[in-house]
Amino acid sequence: MTTVGVLGGTGPAGRGVAIRLASAGYDVILGSRDELRAGVTAAALVPRGPGVVRGATNEVAADCDLVIVATPYDSAVATVKALKSALAGKIVISMVNALAKEGREMVPLYPARGSMAAQLAFALPESTIVGAFHHLPASDMEDLDSDLDADVVIFSDDAPARDVVAALVNEMPGLRAIIAGSMSLASAIEAFTAVCISVNIRHKAHSYVKLAGLPE
Ligand SMILES: NC(=O)c1ccc[n+]([C@@H]2O[C@H](COP(=O)([O-])OP(=O)(O)OC[C@H]3O[C@@H](n4cnc5c(N)ncnc54)[C@H](OP(=O)(O)O)[C@@H]3O)[C@@H](O)[C@H]2O)c1
């Protein structure tokens, strides 16, 4: 079974993805700069399924078969650069959004290469970057009793890697994978997260993305 590492896994985004991956049967390493914090955080996550979540350093998480980047946008590039050799030859999923809060709204920021996924791809030329999980409300992800029924929009320039990530997402409870296309969509997909969060702030809601009209 594939092992999955989450860099910056102690935050809400990483925890939510980790518990649903473990509920799907994956062994997940919750990575952190602080091994103790990772252990305490992982111990509080109780998946419903055969998988487990363990806490460790980001270095240990980067040794997993597949790795998810779940740090804030302004530390994502430095975090992966330090782990470049461990991440070489692997699929690295970016769920990183570059956003800023302005009043009651989130606004998208535009990183130098147009998207955080493109920045990670530039920093990790020997890895395969796939974008996924950007629009998910972390609190509903972490709460396995929430009625989450969300779509995960996936993009990458590598079609087989997109398929691997889509298969993984479809195993996670409450999620459906939608392959959108190539890395050229990264900027729009990441920026749309600002719309999702702004809607949730304005309407005091936990809405999520669900695309209508697709064949089953
Ligand atoms: N929250 C959501 O609903 C959500 C949903 C989808 C996508 N995302 C995206 O997922 C990413 C993480 O979101 P989050 O809300 O979980 O963020 P967060 O809580 O601010 O940060 C996640 C983790 O990153 C690590 N971290 C913080 N500063 C760091 C630094 N300077 N260098 C290295 N690691 C650092 C911390 O772990 P340690 O201190 O343990 O190392 C922290 O627990 C963001 O890019 C966000 O846009 C979030």
Domain 3-203 CATH assignment equals 3.30.70.260: no
The closest residue, in CA terms, to atom 11 on ligand 1 is 70
Report residues whose beta carbon is within 6 angstroms of any ligand 1 atom.
Answer: 8, 10-14, 32-34, 37, 70-73, 75, 79, 95-97, 133-134, 136-138
Q: How confident is the model at residue 49 (pLDDT cuts 50, 70, 90)?
A: confident
**pLDDT > 70: percent of the chain:** 100
Is the pLDDT at 178 greater than 90, yes or no?
A: yes
Atom in ligand 1 nearest the alpha carbon of residue 137: 3
Q: How confident is the model at residue 216 (pLDDT cuts 50, 70, 90)?
A: confident
Q: Pull the structure tokens for residue 28.
A: 């997940």
**What pLDDT does 141 receive?**
97
Beta strands in the chain (DSSP E): 3-7, 27-32, 52-57, 66-69, 91-94, 99-102, 105-108, 128-131, 150-155, 175-181
Is the pLDDT at 128 greater than 90, yes or no?
A: yes
- DSSP characters for 200-211? HHHHT-------
Is the pLDDT at 113 greater than 90, yes or no?
A: yes
The closest residue, in CA terms, to atom 37 on ligand 1 is 8
Is the pLDDT at 1 greater than 80, yes or no?
A: no
Q: Pull the structure tokens for residue 138.
A: 């972390």
The closest residue, in CA terms, to atom 9 on ligand 1 is 96
pTM tops 0.95: yes
Atom in ligand 1 nearest the alpha carbon of residue 197: 3
Distance 32 CA to ligand 1 centre (A): 10
Distance 9 CA to ligand 1 centre (A): 7
Do 120 and 92 meet the contact criterion of CB atoms below 8 Å apart?
A: yes
Q: Which of 6, 17, 71 to mutate to test the pocket of ligand 1 (most atoms within 8 A of CB)?
A: 71
